[in-house]
Amino acid sequence: MTQIHTIGPDVSGSRIFKVFAFLYGMASYLVFFGTILYAIGFVMGLVVPKTIDTGTDSSVVEAIVINLLLLTLFAVQHSVMARQRFKAWWTQYVPKPIERSTYVLLASLCLLLLFWQWRPMPAIVWEITDPHLAVTVAMISLAGWVLVFVSTFMINHFELFGLSQVVHHLADKPVPAARFYTPLLYKFVRHPLYLGFIIAFWAAPVMTVGHLMFAAVTTIYILLGIYLEEKDLIAAFGDQYREYRLRVSMLIPWRPTW
């Protein structure tokens, strides 16, 4: 295993560190899992104590400024820490086995801050009054969340959220090298995970101004994230990914580019 010299010789290879890394990875994953479950309730207005349309009353200007700052904080953390150049610098200080877990933990904390401090903007943009149609739209939103989870398991859920790395480290096994493959849904769209988020955010029986702002800004961020992610994928897999990008649409299965 590669040692992280900035934390002292052989520290990342010690048994104590391996156990710590495993527990840290597990804790980070549990925080993430709780956060994503809360996110479902937050967006859909179900069960959780504070949703996208409830919370501290504020002026429209204050709500726009605070909400944009919260979304920007998450977007910057989520994008910058995912870039290879940042990882090369970051792993001088954070041991590689827990780098992904740290990324997941910080992203979860940014989301929890957003849920806590989000300012509702309750003016209604549209509302579906037919109860059967409203339930159908809500089920479409829930299907979007299911698509998110299913997509992560198709490409390696536990590696994506840092658990594989700490388990391999604990067992003294190298993390398998990254390989390019396109399981099931990835044969139809390049980013089914992001498609799931877009469906979940936009399929709303009641669309308020605050919800619309959240959906619009996160969709813009998703498109930017896809651009940055695909640059990294091309750098990693070259012509193999270029050919895949030409053959499979980005988000909409029946169009050549989207």
Tens digits of residue pLDDT in 208-225: 999 999 999 999 999 999
pLDDT at position 192: 96
Residue 181's Cβ-count burial label (10 Å; 0-12, 13-18, 19+) is exposed
**Are the C-beta atoms of 74 and 114 separated by less than 8 Å?**
yes
Q: How far, in Å, CA of 251 to CA of 202, rounded?
A: 15
For the chain, where are the alpha helices, taking DSSP H only?
A: 15-44, 60-80, 84-90, 99-117, 131-155, 157-160, 163-170, 192-202, 209-237, 239-247
Tokens of 53: 């349309």
- The predicted pLDDT at position 14 comes to 85
> pLDDT tens for residues 236-255?
899 999 999 999 999 988 76
Cβ contacts of 91 within 8 Å, gap of 6 or more: 4, 99
Report phi then psi at 174, rounded to 5. Answer: -70, 145
Residue 87 has pLDDT above 50, yes or no: yes
pTM of the model: 0.89
pLDDT recorded at residue 3: 30
As a whole number, mean pLDDT of residues 96-122 equals 96
